[in-house]
Amino acid sequence: MSRNRVIYQSEGLYVSENASVTGASGHEQLNRVQSANYSFTINRQDVNQFGDLARIDSLVLDPPTVSLDFSYYLTDGFNERSLGFFVETTGSGMNRGGAGSPASQGNFASGHLTSSSGVNFFITTSPDGEDLNKPGINGSGVALGSSDTVIGVGNCYASDYSVELAVGSLPTVNVTVEGANMNSATIDANGDISNPAINQESGTVLTDKVRLPNPTLDGGITGTVGAAPITALRPGDVTLDLSNIDGVSLVKLDGTEGAHIQSASISLPLSRSPIARLGSKFPFAREVDFPVTATMSVSAIVANTQAANLADLLTSGVQEASVTVKDGSTDNTPAVKYTMKGLKVDSQSFSSSIGSNKTVDITFSTQIGGPNDTLNGVFMSGVNGENAVFV
């Protein structure tokens, strides 16, 4: 039957463990996805010559530009772990980021700082008018079938990760990735689809078939084992700890007399440079451009000033700040925590006008250290799985 339109009820977003994995166990469906946008651009160079007004050919000299950006509500670190970021927990085998052993502390971006073939993303679409996450006869999710379609984006690398927390809004994560290839496919009689990835050494398409796991029934059960699922985190459960920010602000930031935080954001850009060579249509690697600088921006209503001096700020030491979001339960269990270490203040601006509250905007930055650097960078703890570590 022909389709008139596609809306969010029919779509799901999957990510693979790496570009060559084929089994269902090597893929995860991301939870609480709110948007997904993808595109490709082909760059060509026209070939002209004397004697002809129009071009005689148009050749592709550079690899296509393939991009995907998506957003989701922050929950408990499940999506981050599935995307290859390192989320601290004492549970074993839970991190695709690969940094450290169980109970170790690792840099959030460590899994994205080393050479790899990237990962694959899949946007699945069920028939018109049907939920993708629908229960089967035995209570489990219905497997993807020939009536479902899939768009795949191959050899993807994260180029930006940011989280936004603000009064009146659910905490939201935005992720941007860049890839090498894109395909669209139908699911065959065996439940398999074509792999969208390429062999980056030879530039040839991988021919192995891929199988995706069954869609989840509730968009993903999240939270500690045996606990109620986390549907979303609320701004009223966000705590911004700036108690270790010492001598870098003209206004009091922390405590009962501190400024009233209205919004905070953490941005982790991971820009990459494609490395090409003669004889290959595609880059054989996409390496992160170092150094990587992560930023935290805070906006607050000014309450009280405190003794501080810009001259002293110029020689101030490194700082630390953290954001904790609780799960909203009666015992206020932390669901996720971000910690930024090695911070330096970059700017502080004040705004005051008739009819408005006086506000202050502060920006901090830190540089990402290596996988084992526990003094600099961004760190994340999540309650997903058992025995989360909140340090």
Give the integer Cα–Cα distance in Å for 383 and 140.
24
Express each pLDDT in 283-327 by its tens digit: 888 888 899 999 999 998 888 766 666 666 666 666 888 999 998
Predicted TM-score (pTM) of the model is 0.89
Query: Which tens digits make up the pLDDT trace of 43-96?
Result: 899 999 999 999 999 998 888 889 999 999 999 899 999 999 999 874 333 344
Count CB atoms within 10 A of the CB of residue 162: 18
- One DSSP character per residue, 37-99 reads EEEEE--EEEE--TT-SS-SEEEE-S--EEEEEEEEE--SSHHHHHTT---BBSSTT--SS--
Among the listed residues 388, 302, 385, the one whose alpha carbon sits nearest the alpha carbon of residue 351: 302
Q: How far is the CA of 79 from the CAs of 1, 120, 276, 361, 383, in angstroms?
A: 34, 15, 31, 29, 12
Nearest to 74 by CA among 382, 389, 385: 382
Q: Which of 388, 361, 364, 358 is nearest to 378 (CA)?
A: 364
**Predicted confidence (pLDDT) at residue 126 exceeds the cutoff of 60:** yes
What pairs with residue 178 in β-bridges? 67, 157
pLDDT at 103 > cutoff 60: no
Confidence at residue 99, expressed as pLDDT on a 0 to 100 scale? 39
